[in-house]
């Protein structure tokens, strides 16, 4: 589709399409007294301003405009909702590292600051908290609006739990912005809440075999490492599975804990954190060194300790050992070593 035709489509949409839609009841004073949200104006000029259209991003804006038009055609109101009255979905689908904003989120904040919110989020009335809402999709837009201190434009529908997770999964699948491990976490969380495999598969738009692979990965990698790594969008199933295999041994988990505590690990982006941990654990483990052992006298009291460090060995005598014994021990040791070498030659 050419840019000119997209412009014509938008002009047709906002130049008259919204104005000709059936008028919705305005909010009465009694509504305002009860705390009901004010519908966002739908006049052509207001919609254009709210959508933040620009010729430089006409294709993206056309897609988002169609989503808004569909909501309006379905007879749904676009409400302006304070973000402090919105809770996240009851099932997590994104891995958010505490106090860490990824580049995509920061770009979204800048976009909403400059151009406003482009497309509404989907909420449902909170099942237990009157006057509050629960998110079906649009978590990042809601978080960005909260960061900016502005209300969020939203469609509110009375969704069941199944309908909410299906809408949540559908939006994620269409935007293709969940990483492999986030999809696995989403599947695991849905299963943990008792959803049937069929519903989980539909929410993620995957077949049974792919769903099994998602569950297999999230079961293989201890969750504390998934959390500290994050979404890692470039890491696929094979490398996550390999990481899970590497973390089965307790000593490798000790190495992983040391790696993930380093400042350079914490400063890296999510894909960088994955690679740092994966590369470190993929190295061959160092051979365990023999433990140091004591040399004891006839009474069982240690008078020396022998240690090995690679191919180097050392004997440390205690301070109570008579110096005359040390001189004699050196001679005996030299004599014994010579006899040892001679026996190896004749043998």
Residue 2 pLDDT greater than 50, yes or no: no
- Does a structural domain hold residue 299? yes
- Does a structural domain hold residue 303? yes
- Does a structural domain hold residue 344? no
Residue 52 pLDDT greater than 50, yes or no: no
DSSP readout, 15-64? IIITTTSPPPPPPPHHHHHTTPPPBPP--HHHHHHHHT--GGGHHHHHHH
| Rg of the chain, C-alpha, whole Å | 33
Give the structural domain span for 317.
288-324
Mean pLDDT is highest, among 87-91, 240-244, 250-254, for 240-244
- As a whole number of angstroms, the distance between CA 38 and CA 188 comes to 38
What was the pLDDT predicted at 250? 83
- Does a structural domain hold residue 311? yes
Residue 323 pLDDT greater than 80, yes or no: yes
Q: pTM here? A: 0.49
Instruction: Output the CA–CA distances (angstroms, integers) from residue 313 to 262, 308, 317, in the order listed.
Output: 32, 4, 13
pLDDT tens for residues 271-297?
999 999 999 998 866 655 566 778 888
- Does a structural domain hold residue 330? no
- Does a structural domain hold residue 45? no
Domain total of the chain: 1
Mean pLDDT is highest, among 50-64, 79-93, 275-289, for 79-93
Average pLDDT over residues 203-218: 84
Tell me the average pLDDT of the chain: 75
C-beta of residue 251 within 8 angstroms of C-beta of residue 281: no
Residue 81 pLDDT grade (very low, low, confident, very high; cuts 50, 70, 90)? very high
Token pair of 127, please? 């099942």
């Amino acid at each position: 589709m050419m840019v000119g035709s997209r412009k014509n489509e938008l002009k047709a949409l906002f130049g008259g399409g919204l104005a000709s839609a059936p008028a919705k009841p305005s909010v009465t004073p009694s509504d305002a007294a009860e705390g009901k949200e004010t519908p966002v104006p739908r006049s052509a000029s207001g919609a254009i301003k709210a959508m933040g259209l620009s010729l430089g991003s006409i294709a993206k804006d056309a897609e988002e405009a169609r989503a808004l038009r569909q909501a309006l055609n379905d007879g749904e109101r676009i409400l302006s909702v304070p973000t402090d009255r919105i809770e996240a979905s009851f099932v997590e689908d994104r891995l958010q590292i505490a106090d860490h904003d990824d580049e995509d989120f920061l770009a979204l904040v800048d976009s909403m600051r400059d151009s406003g919110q482009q497309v509404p989020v989907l909420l449902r009335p909170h099942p237990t908290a009157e006057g509050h809402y629960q998110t079906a999709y649009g978590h990042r837009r809601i978080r960005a609006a909260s960061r900016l201190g502005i209300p969020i434009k939203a469609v509110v529908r009375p969704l069941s739990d199944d309908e909410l997770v299906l809408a949540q999964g559908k939006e994620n699948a269409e935007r293709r912005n969940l990483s492999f491990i986030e999809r696995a976490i989403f599947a695991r969380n849905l299963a943990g809440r008792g959803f049937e495999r069929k519903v989980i598969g539909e929410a993620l738009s995957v077949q049974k075999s792919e769903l099994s692979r998602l569950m297999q990965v999230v079961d293989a990698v201890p969750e504390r490492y998934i959390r500290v790594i994050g979404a890692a969008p470039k890491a696929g199933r094979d490398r996550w599975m390999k990481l899970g295999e590497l973390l089965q041994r307790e000593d490798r988990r000790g190495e992983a804990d040391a790696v993930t505590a380093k400042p350079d690990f914490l400063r890296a982006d999510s894909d960088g954190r994955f690679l740092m941990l994966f590369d470190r654990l993929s190295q061959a483990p160092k051979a365990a060194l023999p433990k140091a052992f004591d040399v004891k006298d006839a009474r069982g009291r240690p008078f020396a300790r022998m240690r090995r460090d690679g191919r180097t060995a050392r004997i440390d005598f205690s301070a109570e050992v008579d110096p005359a014994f040390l001189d004699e021990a050196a001679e005996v040791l030299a004599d014994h070593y010579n006899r040892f070498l001679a026996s190896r030659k004749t043998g």
